[in-house]
């Protein structure tokens, strides 16, 4: 760590693995604005956590590694292999490089969603981090607003979107990136923190509002047994606990601020 001449604050080398992604690219910008040396690492920049390619070089002199990768495939076996291999490699290279804080982004309610292969993979990722010798913080976020269209897409049959009325407390990706940035520049918690949006919705209502704003003609119908990622939800499955830190951006504000971007978002 060194004192940055311009800002008078302690600056760090922070490697953002998945730095080209939705959260990663926002995070890298925010960290650089604060004067940190933020490195965006991903296959596009020659860093591959599945093969180890480029990791040793990227991690040289790094204090913090933030893992905001996602698997290209969400098929059960492939997504598990991705998060296990990627996490193992990151932790091994971090130990060799003397990294002092591993931060990873996971999902609120993961332990209640294990009927889904994707969430079994996220749980495996979390467990590897907890078992490692690197000080860590796991950040569990609720669903991103940017994921509204993705939820509609995987819940669509014909021109109908079938969804249960379970509660959901989604948040803007920009607020997720801010929260990850705050945590990455702080001390390791050696535990899990939750972040969530400022408002709670019924899942069917959230998607109906989003599709209306995107001028998407699909009709949202309530189906209490419709599955979310293959999981039957109960009322509070997706909700965070009472201690979650809340983002500021409201869904309606996000929809009106960036309608074109919102409509194009797929995850
Ligand atoms: N969607 C939600 O609502 C939600 C909610 C809570 C938490 N999360 C979690 O948030 C995390 C980030 O999500 P996101 O939407 O920002 O992801 P994203 O936009 O899909 O970006 C994924 C990133 O992973 C990188 N990547 C893929 N394979 C890699 C590899 N082998 N080695 C290194 N990097 C690799 C990609 O790099 P390239 O661009 O070079 O391919 C990209 O930078 C995920 O773990 C997800 O589980 C998501």
Measure the CA–CA gap between 167 and 108, rounded to whole angstroms. Answer: 13
Q: Please give the distance, rounded to the nearest whole angstrom, from the Cα atom of residue 67 to the centre of ligand 1.
A: 8
What token pair was written down for 190?
């050696």
Q: What is the pLDDT of residues 102-132, one digit of tens each?
A: 999 999 999 999 999 999 999 999 999 999 9
Measure the CA–CA gap between 78 and 65, rounded to whole angstroms. Answer: 24
Higher pLDDT, 6 or 258: 258
Q: Please give the distance, rounded to the nearest whole angstrom, from the Cα atom of residue 68 to the centre of ligand 1.
A: 5
Q: Please give the distance, rounded to the nearest whole angstrom, from the Cα atom of residue 222 to the centre of ligand 1.
A: 30
What token pair was written down for 238?
């997706």
Asked if residue 242 has pLDDT above 50, the reply is yes
Measure the CA–CA gap between 65 and 16, rounded to whole angstroms. Answer: 6
Measure the CA–CA gap between 198 and 163, rounded to whole angstroms. Answer: 22
Please report the pLDDT score of residue 167 as a whole number: 98
Q: What is the pLDDT of residues 60-101, one digit of tens each?
A: 999 999 999 999 999 999 999 999 999 999 999 999 999 999
Residue 257's pLDDT band (cuts 50, 70, 90): confident
Please report the pLDDT score of residue 79 as a whole number: 98
Q: What is the pLDDT of residues 169-193, one digit of tens each?
A: 999 999 999 999 999 999 999 999 9
Measure the CA–CA gap between 109 and 99, rounded to whole angstroms. Answer: 28
Cβ-based neighbours of 154, under 8 Å, separated by 6 or more: 229
Please report the pLDDT score of residue 161 as a whole number: 98
The set of protein residues with a Cβ atom below 6 angstroms from ligand 1 is 17-18, 20-24, 42-44, 47-50, 68-70, 72, 86, 105, 107, 122, 141, 143-144, 147, 267
Show the DSSP H helices in 60-147 as ranges.
76-97, 117-131
Please report the pLDDT score of residue 6 as a whole number: 46
β-bridge partners, 64: 14, 101
Asked if residue 267 has pLDDT above 50, the reply is no
Nearest C-alpha neighbor of 48 from the set 14, 19, 77: 19
| Top mutation candidate among 69, 71, 91 for ligand 1, by most atoms within 8 Å of CB | 69
Sign of CA pseudo-dihedral 65, 66, 68, 74: positive
Q: Is 136 in contact with 130 (CB distance < 8 Å)?
A: yes
Please report the pLDDT score of residue 260 as a whole number: 58
Longest dimension (CA), the chain: 59
- Number of C-beta neighbours around residue 8 at 10 A: 9
Nearest C-alpha neighbor of 165 from the set 222, 237, 227, 108: 222
Looking at residue 52, what DSSP letter applies?
A: -
Please report the pLDDT score of residue 215 as a whole number: 93
Please report the pLDDT score of residue 10 as a whole number: 80
Asked if residue 262 has pLDDT above 80, the reply is no
Please report the pLDDT score of residue 43 as a whole number: 98
Please report the pLDDT score of residue 4 as a whole number: 47
Of ligand 1's atoms, which has the minimum distance to the CA of residue 106? 7
β-bridge partners, 103: 66, 137
Show the DSSP H helices in the chain as ranges.
22-33, 55-59, 76-97, 117-131, 148-154, 173-184, 203-213, 251-257, 259-264
Please report the pLDDT score of residue 9 as a whole number: 63
β-bridge partners, 67: 17, 104
Residue in this structure with the two tokens 């990622």, named with its chain if needed: 229
This prediction has a pTM of 0.95
Backbone angles phi, psi at 86, to 5 degrees: -60, -45
Q: What is the pLDDT of residues 208-231, one digit of tens each?
A: 999 999 999 999 999 999 999 899
């Amino acid at each position: 760590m060194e004192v940055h001449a311009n800002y008078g604050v302690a600056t760090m080398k922070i490697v953002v693995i998945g730095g080209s992604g939705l959260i990663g690219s926002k995070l890298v910008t925010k960290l650089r604005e604060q004067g940190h040396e933020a490195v965006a690492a991903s296959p596009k920049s020659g860093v591959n956590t599945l093969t180890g390619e480029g990791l040793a070089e990227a991690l040289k002199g790094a204090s913090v590694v933030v893992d905001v990768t996602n698997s290209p495939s969400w098929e059960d076996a492939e997504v598990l292999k991705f998060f296990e291999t990627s996490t193992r490699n990151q932790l091994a290279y971090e130990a060799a490089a003397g990294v002092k804080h591993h931060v990873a982004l996971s999902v609120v309610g993961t332990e209640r969603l294990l009927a889904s292969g994707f969430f079994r993979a996220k749980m495996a990722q979390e467990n590897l981090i907890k078992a490692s010798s690197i000080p860590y913080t796991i950040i569990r976020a609720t669903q991103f607003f940017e994921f509204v269209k993705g939820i509609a897409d995987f819940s669509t049959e014909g021109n109908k979107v079938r969804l249960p009325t379970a509660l959901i407390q989604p948040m803007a990706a920009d607020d997720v990136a801010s929260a990850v940035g705050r945590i990455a520049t702080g001390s390791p918690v050696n535990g899990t923190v939750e972040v969530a949006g400022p408002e709670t919705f019924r899942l069917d209502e959230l998607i109906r509002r989003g599709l209306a704003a995107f001028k998407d003609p699909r009709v949202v119908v309530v189906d209490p047994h419709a599955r979310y990622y293959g999981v039957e939800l109960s009322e509070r499955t997706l909700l965070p606990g009472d201690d979650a830190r809340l983002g500021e951006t409201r869904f309606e504000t996000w929809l009106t601020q960036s309608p074109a971007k919102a409509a194009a978002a797929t995850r």
